[in-house]
Structures are given as C-alpha cells and as structure tokens.
Structure 1
Amino acid sequence: MKNPEVSDSLGYFGYTLEEVQQMANNQGWHLEYIGEWNHPRNQKMVKFYL
C-alpha cells in the first residue's frame, strides 16, 4: 500500500479500544484506559506501560 501524496487532515482516522489493546498485547505492553480528557474532537486517552 502506497502512502498518499498529501494528507487529508479532515478525514477520519482512529482505532477502537479493542484494536489498541491488541496492539499493546502483541508488543508485551499493558494498557490502562483513562477515557475522557475534554478533547474538542472527543478523543480518549490511554496509558501504555510495561
């Protein structure tokens, strides 16, 4: 897959909590879901740790 020539900053990009958890597990990390942190686009916060 080739990267696009220009970015689309208005396009949606995101991962589900389950996808992020699986990425952490695959690399031997632990994940703590922190949740809401008053982001203007409703992003959520997680913490990765060993």
Structure 2
Amino acid sequence: MKAIPTDVLSKELMEREGVISITVKEFEKIEVAGVVVAGPAVILINQIKYISLK
C-alpha cells in the first residue's frame, strides 16, 4: 500500500459506504475531537463499526 499515492487512497475511501469527507479550504480551520486542522486539507471519518486488525 505504500506504493499507492495518498491522493488515490483518499479518493477511493471517499467513495466507500460510511465514510464522511470534509474538505477544509485554504485559510480555514476545523476542530475534530479536539484536533485543530488548518487547510487546505481533506478529513475522512469512518463511521463503520471498528474492526481490530490486530
């Protein structure tokens, strides 16, 4: 997976069921769960039930 560019992974995840995509534009800031992110950025939130990969 390291060989796959991040933008390709992000686009694939954005199309998945249960994934919410938030686009933060340049000069914008957003706080999610206490973490402040300054744009430009794309935030992906997976709302599907968590499955441990351990």
- TM-score, with structure 1 as normaliser: 0.37
Query: Which protein shows a greater Rg?
Result: 1
Higher strand content, 1 or 2: 2
